[in-house]
Amino acid sequence: MVTYKIIQDIDTCIGCGACAVITTDKWEMTDEGKAKLLNSEKIKETYEKTFDDSDLEEYREAVDSCPVEALKIVDKETGEKIE
């Protein structure tokens, strides 16, 4: 099974909420008006979370919905960006 990491750049996020609308069980909106990846680890100016194939399509939809490209998915083993 392949594992992935979704990375959210906090500074780039404009808080439009598209990711939170598409995958309501994976995001929440903060008091600061930004989206926050649930059950993630804050590393410097990013939220990061590891997941497997079962969640890949949902996270891809969230990535595709972001108008400022604040989200990306990488293969955890290779570090290669998943398009």
Query: Could you read off the pLDDT of 16-65 as tens digits, one per residue?
Result: 999 999 998 999 999 999 999 999 999 999 999 999 999 999 999 999 99
- d(Cα 53, Cα 3) in Å, to the nearest integer? 7
Question: Can you give the pLDDT at residue 1?
Answer: 80
* HSE, side-chain direction, 13 A CA sphere, residue 34: 17
Distances (CA, A) of 49 to 36, 64: 11, 17
Q: Which domains does the chain have, with CATH numbers?
A: 3-82 (3.30.70.20)
Is residue 83 scored above 90 in pLDDT?
A: no
